[in-house]
Amino acid sequence: MIRGDIRKIDLGTASFERLIVQNSFYVDKTQFIEHFLNDASQVILIARHRRLGKSLNMDTLRCFLTDLKDCRKLFQGLYIENSSVWELAHSAPVFYFSFKNMDAKDYKYKLFKQVIMCFDAYLDKNDLSEIDRFMWARYFASEGGDPDGLLLLTEMVYHVTGKKSYILIDEYDKLLRDTFQSDEYEEIFDYVKLFFSAGLKDNPYLEKGLLTGVLRVSYEGMLSDLNNVTTYDMFSDELYTDDYGLTEEEINEVHEIRPFDRDKAKRWYNGVKVSQKAIYNIFSVSSFLRSRKFDCYWGKSQLLSVIVDLMDENRRNALMETLNGAKIEVPVETRVSLKQLWERRDDYSFYSFLIQGGYLSLDEMIPETSLAKVSIPNMELVKVWKTFILSFLYPNQRKMLTMLDHTGNLSLLARDIEDYISDSLSFYDLSVYKGEGRRRVWERVYHIFILGVLSAYSESRYVKPVSEGESGDGRYDILYQNGDVNYLFEFKACDDVKELDARAEDALRQIDARRYGARLDHGRRLIKVGIAIYGKQCRVKCGG
C-alpha cells in the first residue's frame, strides 16, 4: 500500500516519523513488524544489499515498539494497525545502534557514546540501586574500554522498569567491511564480537534482537557464540522476502498513481533476487520517480574498491561474460569470510561477496554442487559495472570513447585501435606458464581485453558485442554493432615480431574466406578488423 504524496519523495532520511508527518511518499512495509515479532527466534540477522530500506524498516520497528514515546498515531491506516501484534505497540524499551559512521580510530568511543545516550534518554540515575550506580559509574569511566555496554544497559532498565529490552543494530558489518584489509581488523573484530555477545547471547534482560547488514559474516566466528541467532539472507529467506525493496504488486500500485514505463523500469531496477525471487531497488525506483529519468542511482560504495582489489584474470573474464548478458556458473559459499576473502582470495568468498553486495544476481543454485548460476540483473547494475569497475580495469577512458570514430578512414581507424591497445594492455599479464601455448594465451588475452573494452564502451548507440558467434563456415572472434556499422574482429598471434603485418592481413582474409559476415544484415556496412599479436606488440589492419 502506498502512503503519502507520491510527488514528495524524501531520499535523504530513514526516519519513519518524518516520512509520515510530512506526508512524503512511503510504501507500507509494516508487515515486517509482524514478521519480526512472530518470529520464534530471539536474535535475528537480516542481510540485504544496499538501498533496499533496511534502516527505514528498523526505525519503523523502533517507532512501533518504543514506550518512551507514543507513536501509534503514525501507524493509522497501515497494515500493522489491524495485525494481531498491534497490542505490542508502545510497550517496551527499544535501543537502536548504528555502525554506519564508525572507523578504526573511534569505534569504541562511538559505541560507548550510543550506550550512554540510550541510558540518559531512558533512565534517571537516582532510580538505580546503589550497586547499579556503582556498576554504571565504572562503565562510564571506561569511555569505551568495556564492551559490556549492551548488557549493562538492558540490566539497568530491567531493574528499574521490570521490562525486557529490544536491541536493534543497523549495518552491523560495515565497520568490519571497511577495515578488514587493515592491520587493526583483528582488534576491531574481537571487540565487536564481545560487544554483540554481551548484549545478545544469554542475556536474561533481552526480549529480542535484530541485526541488519550487507554480508553474512560468519566463518571468523563473529556470531558463532550467539546460539540463538537466525539468519535470513539473499540465499535463504522465505519470511522477509517482500519486506525489503519493492514487489511487482507495489510497482503496479505506484504506476496506477503516477504512470511510467513499467517494462523499462523492470529492465533498469528489477532482478536482484532474494531466495531467487526478483525484487526492485526501492531507492533507485524512488529516485526515478522524483527525477522522471531512467539512470543509475546506485552510487559508489567501499565495496567497489574491494572488488577491484580482488580482481584477477579469470574473474575479469567471467564478469565480461555477464556484462554481455550471459549467466555463468561460479563457486559460491552462502557465508562470507572477510579474512578468507582477503588472505586466501578464494572464488567461493569472492562470488558470495558479489551476490550479497547486490552486484550479481543469484539466479539458480545447482543441486548437489557448490555452484550457482549468476548474472548482472538489470541496466542500472550494468552501468555500475561500467562506471565504477571497468574504469579501473580499462584505463584511458577518453581514448576508448574515440577509438571507433574514424569509420570513414580505415587507416585511421586501425591506428586508433592499435594505439589504444598499446597504451592499455600493459595492465594485463601476458605471462605464459609451463604447459601453455604462447600464441593461444596471447590470443585469449587480447580477445578478452577487446571484448571487455567494447562491453565498457559507454555511448548508448552501441550494443553489446557478441563473442565467438557462429556465422558462415565457422566462428568469428567478436562481432560488434552500432546503428549502421558491423565490426568483425579476428585475432592472430605470431611466432616472430616480423610477422605482424602478414598475420594481420591473414586475419582479414580469414573473415572473407570463412564468410563470417554471411548472416549479418547487409543493409549495414561491414568493417573487418584483423589484429596480429606478438606479446604486447600488435598490428591492426582494417578492411571494408
Domain match, 490 and 373 both: no
All three cell numbers of 82? 489491524
Q: Going by C-beta distance under 8 Å and a sequence separation of 6 or more, which residues neighbour residue 172?
A: 45, 99, 196, 211, 212, 213
Q: Identify which of 391, 357, 393 has the alpha carbon closest to the alpha carbon of residue 376.
A: 357
- On whether the CB atoms of residues 510 and 495 are closer than 8 A, the answer is no
CA distance 379 to 460: 12
**Looking at residue 500, what is its pLDDT?**
95
Q: Domain for residue 249, yes or no?
A: yes
Q: What is the pTM of this model?
A: 0.83
Q: What per-residue confidence (pLDDT) applies to 460?
A: 42
* Residue that terminates a domain, selected from 227, 242, 257: 242
Contacts of 162 (CB under 8 A, 6+ apart): none
Same domain for 372 and 444: no
Rounded Cα gap, residues 249 and 268, in angstroms: 17
Q: Say yes or no: 117 and 214 in one domain.
A: yes
Domain shared by 115 and 173, yes or no: yes
Structural domain count of the chain:
4
pLDDT averaged over 10-residue windows placed end to end, the chain, 544 residues: 95 96 97 97 93 95 97 98 98 96 92 96 93 94 93 97 98 89 89 93 95 79 68 92 96 96 95 91 95 87 79 80 85 81 84 91 91 93 80 69 86 91 65 66 84 68 68 83 86 93 94 86 88 92 92
Domain-ending residue, one of 233, 259, 291: 291
Other CB atoms within 10 Å distance of the CB of residue 159: 15
- pLDDT, residue 420, reads 86
Domain shared by 222 and 251, yes or no: no
Pick from 315, 347, 377: which residue ends a domain? 377
Residues 229 and 262 in one domain: no
- Strands 525-534, 485-493: pairing is parallel
Task: Assess whether 45 and 170 both reside in one domain.
Answer: yes
Asked whether residue 320 falls in the same domain as residue 410, the answer is no
Q: Is residue 389 part of a domain?
A: no
**E strand residue ranges, 119-236:** 165-170, 206-213, 229-232
Task: Based on DSSP, count helices (H) and strands (E) in the chain, helices before strands.
Answer: 21, 19
Q: Domain for residue 387, yes or no?
A: no
| Residue 498 resides in a domain | yes
Q: Are residues 237 and 251 in the same domain?
A: no
286 in the same domain as 319: no
pLDDT at residue 461, as a whole number: 45
CATH number at residue 34: 3.40.50
> What span, in angstroms and rounded, lies between the C-alpha atoms of 300 and 389?
10
Look up residue 206 and give its three cell numbers: 533481552
Do 401 and 346 have their domain in common? no
Identify whether residues 67 and 208 lie together within a single domain: yes
Kindly tell me the burial class for residue 294, based on how many C-beta atoms sit within 10 Å of its own C-beta (0-12, 13-18, 19 or more): middle
Phi, psi of 60 (to 5 degrees): -60, -45
Q: Which residues have C-beta within 8 Å of that of residue 350, sequence separation ≥ 6?
A: 310, 315, 341
386 is a domain residue:
no
The whole domain housing 321 covers 302-377
Element containing residue 94 per DSSP (H, E): strand 94-98
Q: Which three cell numbers stand for residue 361?
A: 544476481
